Chains A and B, each alone.
Chain A
Amino acid sequence: MSPDAREALLLLGCPEVPVQQALALYLLGRLKAADYAVTCAGNPAVLQLLRVSDPDRHYIGPVVEIERCIGELAEKKRTPTLCVAFAHSDAGLTFAATARYLLPEARFVLLAFGREAETLAGLATFPCEKIVDVAVHNPTKLKRRIDEVLA
């Protein structure tokens, strides 16, 4: 990563839907290769899953508890130019909407997945790029859409 690396934020939801973990690690690798310094925000469980999945820290960088992250965004202590928010529930969408509001200048990608993906994407009326699929276990289609959006 260069000293001029751009800052990105992955906003992770509850880890109960399997595709999130795979796509988070995939995005970490992809954004790191594109010279982004990526911070992951999530609850303690999702951050622990990432740490265990990447013990030598090939992919993950800084991590932050999600409510602390929202506070840092509100205080402008953290100003990523790219935010990718994962949402598979109303709570996930609520955190995404909050981050979008607090990051009006950032490129904002909403990744809606799981069984309620289409409903959630419809409820997301804030400006963002949407990647939507009802995937629970198979991340392939979402990965393909991520590649298209971030190309």
Chain B
Amino acid sequence: MNGEKDILAGCIKGKQSAQWELYTRYSRLLLAICNRYARNMDEAEDILQEGFVKIFLNIKEFKGDGPLLAWMRRIMINTAITHYHKMLKHRYHDDLAEVAESKFEDKGWGETDFTEDELFRVIQQMPDGYRQVFMLYAMEGYKHREIAGIMKIDENTSKSQYSRGRRWLQERLIKLKVERKHKDE
């Protein structure tokens, strides 16, 4: 069982061996995507598991009109957002207004300024509202109108959350760079 078609056919029949192939092939990539919407690895894995359950149960619905990965990715992101809405009740709600406006300008970054681990860590520390909107806009290319629909927020809120999230991120990255400089000295 090597071809994606075979795996797909197997998954539609509910074969565990095919599910395993699909999982081993894509779980690492999808976990990295989940991780962009989660507070920590545990939460990311929860989303991954929930997402795979949805994928296996609904794989019949995959029409083959696009790449399988894109379809699975969409499911993961939807799961992450649903997860976020569920978790809202249990979480301490960050007061977004408290984040100070930054005086730093976006001078730009070198591609290798930070490691993947560092970036993931910073993203996980991002206030939830900022993170979801920022990732949906910057990584998945959703429009603010679409984000407003998915996140059940106002379109203008989406826009302002995005620009604040972006500023928050910049500030954090600058701080990280400064800290490192001190360490090196």
Q: Do A and B come from one complex?
A: no
Give the B-binding residues of A (Cβ under 8 A): none
Give the A-binding residues of B (Cβ under 8 A): none
